[in-house]
Structure 1
Amino acid sequence: MITYKEAISILSNALQPLPDFKIASEQAHGVLARDVISTVEVPNFSNSAMDGFAVRSVESNGANEDNPIRLEVKGCILAGELAPAIDQKESCCEIMTGSVMPNGFDAVIPVEQVEINDEGGRAFIVINQSVQTGRNVRFSGEDFKPGQVVAKKGQLLNPHILMAINANKIESVSVYRPPNIGILTTGSELETVNQEENSPTIPNTNGPFLQSSIRRMGLPCNGMVSVGDSSQMILEKIQDFMDLESDIIIISGGVSAGKADFVPGALRTLGAEILFHKVWIRPGKPILMAKLSTGQFVFGLPGNPVSVAVGFRFFVNQAIRILQDQALEEPISAINKNEFKKPEKFCFFAKAQTGYTQSGNLEAEILSGQESFKLSPFYQANSWMILPEGTDVIKAGEKIKIVPLQPGEAI
Structure 2
Amino acid sequence: MLEVADALAEVLKHARPLETETVALAPAALGHVLAADIAADIDSPPFPKSLRDGYAVRSADCAAPGAELKVVAEIPAGVVPTRSVGAGEACRIFTGAPLPEGADAVVMQEDAQALGDRVRITDAAVKPRQHVYARGTEMRVGAVVLRAGTPINPAAFGVLANVGKTAVPVYPFPRVGVVATGDELVEAGTKPDPGRIRNTNGPMLTALTARGGGRPRYFGIARDARASARSLIQEGLDASDVLLIAGGVSVGDFDLVPAVLAELGVTFHVRQVRMKPGKPLLFGTAPAGQLVFGLPGNPVSTFVCFELFVRPALRILGGHAEAGPRTIRLPVAQGLAESNDRPTYRPAKLEYGPDGLSVRPLAWSGAPDLVGLQPADALIVLPAGDTRCDCGANMDVVLLG
- TM-score, normalized by the shorter chain, greater than 0.5: yes
Give how far 1:216 is off. Answer: 2.7
Matched, 1:313 2:310: no
In 2, Cα distance between equivalents of 1:89 and 1:400: 67
| 1:263-303 deviation per Cα after TM superposition (whole angstroms, max 9, x unaligned) | 00100111110111110011110011011111111111111
Matched, 1:271 2:265: yes
Task: Name the amino acid aligned to 2:100.
Answer: P
2:354 matched to which residue of 1? 358
Q: Closer, same or farther in 2 for the Cα pair 1:59/1:192, shift >3 Å? A: closer
| 1:362-390 deviation per Cα after TM superposition (whole angstroms, max 9, x unaligned) | 3212222150111222343221222345x
Give how far 1:52 is off. Answer: 1.1
* Alignment equivalent of 2:366, drawn from 361, 366, 371: 371
2:381 matched to which residue of 1? 386
Q: Closer, same or farther in 2 for the Cα pair 1:342/1:174, shift >3 Å? A: farther
In 2, Cα distance between equivalents of 1:180 and 1:196: 31
| 1:263-302 correspondence to structure 2 within 5 Å | 263-302=257-296
CA contact (8 A) 2:174 2:213 kept: no
Range with bigger deviation, 24-33 or 188-197: 188-197
CA contact (8 A) 2:212 2:311 kept: no
Consecutive unaligned residues in structure 2, runs of 5 or more:
none
In 2, Cα distance between equivalents of 1:193 and 1:353: 27
Range with bigger deviation, 159-168 or 98-107: 159-168
1:331 matched to which residue of 2? 327
In 2, Cα distance between equivalents of 1:378 and 1:193: 19
Give how far 1:89 is off. Answer: 2.0
1:341 matched to which residue of 2? 338
CA contact (8 A) 1:74 1:86 kept: no
In 1, Cα distance between equivalents of 2:185 and 2:130: 68
2:77 matched to which residue of 1? 79
Matched, 1:3 2:3: yes
Give how far 1:225 is off. Answer: 1.4
Q: Closer, same or farther in 2 for the Cα pair 1:94/1:172, shift >3 Å? A: same
| 1:90-105 correspondence to structure 2 within 5 Å | 90-105=88-103
In 2, Cα distance between equivalents of 1:87 and 1:317: 60
Task: Name the amino acid aligned to 2:52.
Answer: M
Give how far 1:36 is off. Answer: 2.6
Q: Secondary structure at the match of 1:209?
A: helix
Q: Closer, same or farther in 2 for the Cα pair 1:324/1:218, shift >3 Å? A: closer
CA contact (8 A) 2:347 2:373 kept: yes
Task: Name the amino acid aligned to 1:296.
Answer: Q
Give how far 1:21 is off. Answer: 2.2
| 1:21-61 deviation per Cα after TM superposition (whole angstroms, max 9, x unaligned) | 23344563301222333343211111111211111111111
Give how far 1:19 is off. Answer: 0.9
Q: Closer, same or farther in 2 for the Cα pair 1:386/1:40, shift >3 Å? A: farther
2:389 matched to which residue of 1? 395
| 1:104-156 deviation per Cα after TM superposition (whole angstroms, max 9, x unaligned) | 212111222211112xxxx1110122311111111111112245442233222
Q: How many matched pairs?
A: 394
Q: Closer, same or farther in 2 for the Cα pair 1:125/1:192, shift >3 Å? A: closer
Range with bigger deviation, 157-166 or 396-405: 396-405
Consecutive unaligned residues in structure 1, runs of 5 or more:
407-411
1:248 matched to which residue of 2? 242
Q: Closer, same or farther in 2 for the Cα pair 1:204/1:194, shift >3 Å? A: closer
Task: Name the amino acid aligned to 2:48.
Answer: S
TM-score (norm 1): 0.90
Q: Secondary structure at the match of 2:95?
A: coil
| 1:34-45 correspondence to structure 2 within 5 Å | 34-45=36-47
Q: Closer, same or farther in 2 for the Cα pair 1:392/1:151, shift >3 Å? A: farther
CA contact (8 A) 1:367 1:377 kept: yes
In 2, Cα distance between equivalents of 1:137 and 1:87: 15
1:409 matched to which residue of 2? none
Give how far 1:193 is off. Answer: 9.1
Q: Closer, same or farther in 2 for the Cα pair 1:161/1:192, shift >3 Å? A: closer
Give how far 1:171 is off. Answer: 4.4
In 2, Cα distance between equivalents of 1:10 and 1:39: 43
2:57 matched to which residue of 1? 55
Q: Closer, same or farther in 2 for the Cα pair 1:370/1:42, shift >3 Å? A: farther
CA contact (8 A) 1:304 1:372 kept: yes
Give how far 1:208 is off. Answer: 0.8
Task: Name the amino acid aligned to 2:4.
Answer: Y
In 1, Cα distance between equivalents of 2:115 and 2:237: 78
1:19 matched to which residue of 2? 19
CA contact (8 A) 1:62 1:130 kept: no
Range with bigger deviation, 228-237 or 194-203: 194-203
Q: Secondary structure at the match of 2:183?
A: coil
In 2, Cα distance between equivalents of 1:7 and 1:395: 27
Give how far 1:247 is off. Answer: 0.3
Give how far 1:255 is off. Answer: 0.6
Q: Closer, same or farther in 2 for the Cα pair 1:181/1:339, shift >3 Å? A: same
Q: Secondary structure at the match of 1:317?
A: helix
Task: Name the amino acid aligned to 2:8.
Answer: I
Q: Secondary structure at the match of 2:231?
A: helix
Give how far 1:78 is off. Answer: 1.3
Range with bigger deviation, 316-325 or 266-275: 316-325
TM-score (norm 2): 0.92
In 1, Cα distance between equivalents of 2:196 and 2:296: 17
In 1, Cα distance between equivalents of 2:294 and 2:33: 26
Q: Closer, same or farther in 2 for the Cα pair 1:386/1:42, shift >3 Å? A: farther
Q: Closer, same or farther in 2 for the Cα pair 1:110/1:310, shift >3 Å? A: same
Alpha carbon RMSD of aligned pairs, Å?
2.1
CA contact (8 A) 1:26 1:166 kept: no
Give how far 1:184 is off. Answer: 0.2
Identity value in percent:
30
Task: Name the amino acid aligned to 1:320.
Answer: L
